[in-house]
Every structure is written in structure tokens, then in C-alpha cells.
Amino acid sequence: MKKIFAFLFLLMFLSVACEKKERVPVDVYKARESLEILGYEFTEIDLAKAVKEGKTDIVKLFFDAGMSPDSTVQHKIYQIPLIYFVIDKGNELLLQVFIQAKADLNIQVAGTTPLIKAVEKGNASMISMMIKAGADVNTAGSDGLTPLLSAIDKNNTGVVWTLLQQGADVNLQDYNGFSPLMFAVSSGNSEVVRELIKRGANVNQTSKNGTKIKSFLGKNRKEIELLLIEAGAKLD
């Protein structure tokens, strides 16, 4: 008889333990219930649909319901985090929702980070938001270009200013050893050259194969040449 009672007690204990383990927090349950009422299933597919449609409140409900802000969708051979679609659309309100949900801002897909994606789109506001939230301003893509190098390469002065204000390394080179200053000199952007020098760019830095800054000077760039000389560049 004692064995029977002991067995029944064990079953009751296991049943209560399972219930506690499976119990969903009230706020999470309510968020999932709201999604169902609004016609959404608690799936990454439906979250992706809400993201692509720019439905900020619905996306927030998904995160409140426990969906990961790093959820992905299949695109060709890659699993693309949904934050990339947010950046592509330039939806700053939706980006803020992802940031508040602690999305990984340094994740790389096909050698591109969310920050580099924002640089490619020329969205200075999104860039500031992500860096302030923890995105690494100096992480390079698979092509070796840091966000700053990419911005200079695209001749987007506004984005360059934003990255510099957020602490971008002015001497960080790409895989070939080309520096931000080399990129700026090559593009003929005297404003960026002046600002890089002001922020400590090394005017005598060389590439991996020994190429000096002088090699990047084109014709009719006397102003840039003078800026380099005044900063101590050896152009002889």
C-alpha cells in the first residue's frame, strides 16, 4: 500500500514539475494571444511578413511573445537576419524595435554586417543608432573594407562624418594595406582628407606592397598635396 501511495505521489510531483516548466509568462501569453487575434501565427514566416510590411507594432508583439530579434529568412543560399530588410527599407522606427529587443548588431552574412549595410544605403541616422547600441564601428566585411573605408569609397561625406564622430579608426587598413587617407586622396575629396589628417591619420602609412600616399595623388589636386605636405607627408 505504501508503495502505491509513493508511486502516486511521484506522479503528482512530476505532473506539477512539468506544468511549472511549460508555464508561459502572462505577458508572453497575452502577446501571442494578440497576434492570433490579429491573424498572425507565431512563426518566423509571419514575423518576416510584418517586417517587410513595416508593421512596427506587430513586430514588437512578436518580440514580446518570445520571438528572437535575430530570426532569419531564406534568401538564395543564405539565411538573412530580418534586421537587414529593416535597414534596406530605411525604417528607423522598426530598427529601434529590433535594437530594444537586443538584436545582434555585429552579425555577419555573406561578409556584410548590419552597419556596413547601412553605410551602403547611406543612412547616417541608422548608423548612429546602431553604433550607440553596440555595433562595432571598425568591423570589416569580407572584402576587407571597414564601414569608414566603404563610406569614403562611395564618396558619401555625410556618412564619413558620422562614422568619424562615432570613433571610427582613421588608420585601419583593408586587406591590401590601403588606408582611409589613401582612399580619400584617390577620390580627390579634400574635405575628407583634411578631416582625416585632423583626426590623426598617418600621412606616411604604406600599403602591404609598400605603396605610399603619393601614388594616390591624381592630376590637379594641389590642395590635397599641400594638405599632405603640411601634415608631414614625404612626397619626394
Q: Are 187 and 148 in contact (CB under 8 A)?
A: no
Residue 76 or 28, more confident: 28
Per-residue model confidence (pLDDT) at position 12: 54
Distances in Å between the Cα of 74 and the Cα atoms of 58, 77, 78 are: 21, 7, 6
CATH number of 170-236: 1.25.40.20
**Model confidence at 5, in pLDDT bands (50, 70, 90)?**
very low
Q: List the domain boundaries for the chain.
A: 170-236
**Model confidence at 17, in pLDDT bands (50, 70, 90)?**
very low
pLDDT exceeds cutoff 50 at 6: no
DSSP helix/strand/coil, 55: coil
Q: Is the pTM of this model over 0.75?
A: yes
Q: Are 107 and 137 in contact (CB under 8 A)?
A: no
- Which whole number is the average pLDDT over 67-76? 92
